[in-house]
Amino acid sequence: MTLADFWFILIAVLWIGYFFLEGFDFGVGNLLPALGRTEDDRRLMINTIGPVWDGNEVWLLVAGGATFAAFPNWYATLFSGFYLALLVILLALILRGVAFEYRGKVDSDVWRARWDWAIFFGSVLPSVLWGVAFGNIVHGVPINASGTYTGSFFTLLNPYALLAGLVTAGLFTTHGATYLALKTSGDLRNRAHALMPLLGLVTAVLAVVFLGWTLLTAGEPVTWVTSVVAAAALLGAIAMNRAGRDGWSFILTGVTIAFAVTTLFVTLFPDVMPSSTDPAYSLTVVNASSTHYTLKVMTVVALIFTPIVLAYQAWTFWVFRRRLSTSDLPPDAGRQVETAASS
pTM of the full structure: 0.90
What's the pLDDT at 118?
95
Written in H, E and C, the secondary structure of 195-215 is HHHHHHHHHHHHHHHHHHHHH
What's the pLDDT at 333?
45
73/148 Cα distance (integer angstroms): 10
Going from N- to C-terminal start, the domains of the chain cover 3-179+269-342
Structural Rg of the chain based on CA atoms? 20
What are the DSSP calls for 85-110, one per residue? Answer: HHHHHHHHHHHHHHHHHHTTSS--HH
CB–CB of 32/116 below 8 Å?
yes
Sign of the dihedral defined by the CA atoms of residues 291, 295, 298, 300, in that order: negative
198/174 Cα distance (integer angstroms): 9
What's the pLDDT at 337?
42
CB–CB of 104/335 below 8 Å?
yes
For the chain, which residues score pLDDT lower than 70?
219, 331-343
CB–CB of 56/21 below 8 Å?
yes
Closest by Cα among 236, 270, 242, 271 to 254:
236
